[in-house]
Structure 1
Amino acid sequence: MASVLNITEDTFKEEVVDIKTPVLVDFWAPWCGYCTKLSPVFDELATELADKVKLVKVNVDENRKLTEQQGVMSLPTVILYIDGEPAEKVVGFLPKAALLAKITPHL
């Protein structure tokens, strides 16, 4: 089972920008109800898409500067990065099938 890596402002460049593999980033907060609802979906996707995309999470409360730099204004926000650049942005909770429909065309 693939796991979702928690990253920070200090590791964002290394874990997202400098990676050749597509990276799906979940910007979340522990107090956000929809974020906690998305968490098990994200874990499932990490396993199902392990050979296509890397999945990581950013706690917005602990990484405010990065959150602002990436234009995250609502939670949850999921951004797919390809070659270090945002390729798709999903704001709000989506069920797994709908989230897959948004990101699959980019993979």
Structure 2
Amino acid sequence: MSKFGELIDLRIPILLEFYTDWDETSAAMHPVLKDVAAAMGDKGKVIKINVDKNAELAEALRVKSLPTLMIYKSGEMRWRQSGEQDANTLIGLMQEYI
């Protein structure tokens, strides 16, 4: 199984952010994602994936705009949205999948 496959197969919700270092909206999401990770503790994970370094994966998942956020649990995508999101919304979504 690929590293990505192993990552998304966890039984806890995994929030993925597809971003680039040069995108301002992606940069604005950094403190939001830190807050989400802190709130979730060991009940969820937050993973940032740089599309410049992981172009094949971004293409396979049809990431067209930045940031693109996805929540996976047990190998299944449960939620996907592009654009800036607030911490409370993301925490609420993650808690739905615990």
Q: Is TM (by shorter chain) over 0.5?
A: yes
Distance across 2 between alignment mates of 1:23 and 1:102: 11
Aligned twin of 2:38? 47
Matched, 1:59 2:50: yes
* Cα gap change, 1:17 to 1:97, in 2 (>3 Å): closer
Aligned twin of 1:97? 88
Higher RCO, Cα 8 Å, sep 6+: 2
Q: Is the 8 A contact 1:88 1:103 kept in 2?
A: no
* Cα gap change, 1:21 to 1:100, in 2 (>3 Å): closer
Q: Which amino acid aligns with 1:17?
A: I
Distance across 2 between alignment mates of 1:47 and 1:55: 10
Distance across 1 between alignment mates of 2:93 and 2:63: 18
Task: Give the total of aligned pairs.
Answer: 97
Matched, 1:72 2:63: yes
Distance across 2 between alignment mates of 1:48 and 1:96: 9
* Cα gap change, 1:18 to 1:82, in 2 (>3 Å): closer
Q: Give the superposition deviation at 1:55.
A: 1.1
1:81 to 50, 64, 72: 72
Name the stretch that deviates more: 65-74 or 94-103. 94-103
Consecutive unaligned residues in structure 1, runs of 5 or more: 1-9
Q: Where is the helix percentage greater, Structure 1 or Structure 2? A: 2
2:3 to 4, 11, 19: 11
Distance across 1 between alignment mates of 2:94 and 2:8: 18
TM-score (norm 2): 0.87
Consecutive unaligned residues in structure 2, runs of 5 or more: none
- The RMSD of aligned alpha carbons is 1.6
Q: Give the superposition deviation at 1:105.
A: 2.5
Distance across 1 between alignment mates of 2:66 and 2:18: 7
Identity level (%): 31
